[in-house]
A = this chain, B = another copy of it.
Amino acid sequence: MQNITLKVEGMSCNHCVNAVEGAVGKLGASAKVNLAGKSVAVEYDETKVSAAAIKEAIEDQGYDVVGE
């Protein structure tokens, strides 16, 4: 398993937490949002999903992945 922590702008409330964690979860990865820290800790199986796909899923929810 691989772990990355992404810096994500625009998450403001628990709806956002659910949107991001849900979108990453659909990829078979596990995400934990830190709202105050503007970050998303992700654990994923790099043989099944790429970090790029995870970032894209978060962007697709309307947030900006600004770094790792």
Contact = CB atoms under 8 A, between A and B. Distances in A.
Nearest to A63: B13
A36 to B, nearest CB: 13
Contacts of A15: 13, 15-16, 19
| Most interface-central of A14, A15, A16, A19 (chain B CB within 10 A) | A15
A9 to B, nearest CB: 12
Interface string A3-37: 00000001011111001000000000000000000
Contacts of A10: 13
Given A10-B13, A15-B15, 8 more contacts: A12-B12, A12-B13, A13-B13, A13-B15, A13-B16, A14-B62, A15-B16, A15-B19
